[in-house]
Structure 1
C-alpha cells in the first residue's frame, strides 16, 4: 500500500506544485495551485497550504483557512482549495486530503469545517456530500453553495 502524506511547500517542490493540473472539465470549478499559493502568500496568518504525496509522487494540493475571528462564520475553519491531479483521481487521495484538513481543524479546536462549491455537471458537490458535508442554505461571496461538516 502506498503511503499518503501531506508536505509543506518548499523551494524544492513549488515548481511541481504549480504544474499540478486537475481534469480539464474541472478547471472551471477550482482555481489553480499557482493562484492558491498567491492567495496563501497574501494571507499567511490564515492559509494552510499542503501538498499531497502518494509515496514519492505528488498527486494533489489542499489548502484550508483557519481564521477563528472572521466575522463570517463559514470562513472561520474552511476547506479553501482541493486539487487532485487528473491522472490521480478516484484513488482516495482527495478523501485523504479532506480528512487531513478535518484533523487539523480538530487540533485547532474547531467545531466544524465548511467548504463551498459551484453546482454543475463537473462540480465537486457529490464528492463533498459523500464525505459528510451538508449544505447550510448559505451562498458565499462568489455565489457558491456552502457546506458544513460537524467535527
Structure 2
C-alpha cells in the first residue's frame, strides 16, 4: 500500500471513487474534498491510496488548523478530515493504513494528537475509529462526534 499525490494523471480516477451507497451520507465525495483542498491549501493534505497499481481510496488530512479562534487561538489541531475507501475495497485494511499514514505525517510535523470526526449513527464509522484508539472528546463539530488519538 502507498499514498500518492493527486495529479493531472490520476484526478479523474479519484473523482470516480465511491463508497458504498449506505455510506454516502457519512462522507463527502472526493470532488468536494479536492475543492476544499484548493480553497485551504495551507491546511489540506489530500492523498490517494493505492494497492499496487489499483486505486482503493482517498484521504485528506487537516494540518495545524485553528480549532476555535474565538475561544483559544493557540488550540491548533491536526487529523483526518476525509476517508473514502472504495466500496469494493473495504474490509482489507486500507482504512487503518490511511489513518496510520495521517498519524505519521502529524508526528513528522511535531504533532502529538490526531483528531477525527464521525457521524454518530448506526452503521457509522465510530467502531472503526474506537478500535484504532480514538476516544470522544465530548465536543461536537457540525453535529459530528470529535475524537482524539494520543500520538505520544
Q: Give the TM-score normalised by the residue count of structure 2.
A: 0.93
Instruction: Give unpaired runs (5+ residues) of structure 2.
Output: 69-73
**What is the alpha-carbon root mean square deviation over aligned residues?**
1.3
Q: Within the alignment, does 1:58 sit opposite 2:55 as a pair?
A: yes
Count how many residue pairs are aligned between Structure 1 and Structure 2: 146
Higher strand share: 2
SS at match of 1:67: strand
Return closer, same or farther for 1:121/1:89 CA change in 2, 3 Å cut-off: same
Offset of 1:12 from its aligned partner? Answer: 0.2
Q: Within the alignment, does 1:16 sit opposite 2:13 as a pair?
A: yes
Does the 8 Å contact 2:50/2:56 carry over to 1? yes
SS at match of 1:129: helix
Return closer, same or farther for 1:83/1:71 CA change in 2, 3 Å cut-off: closer
In the other structure, the counterpart of 2:78 is 77
In the other structure, the counterpart of 1:130 is 131
Q: Runs in 1 of length 4+ with deviation above 6 angstroms?
A: none
Q: Give the TM-score normalised by the residue count of structure 1.
A: 0.93
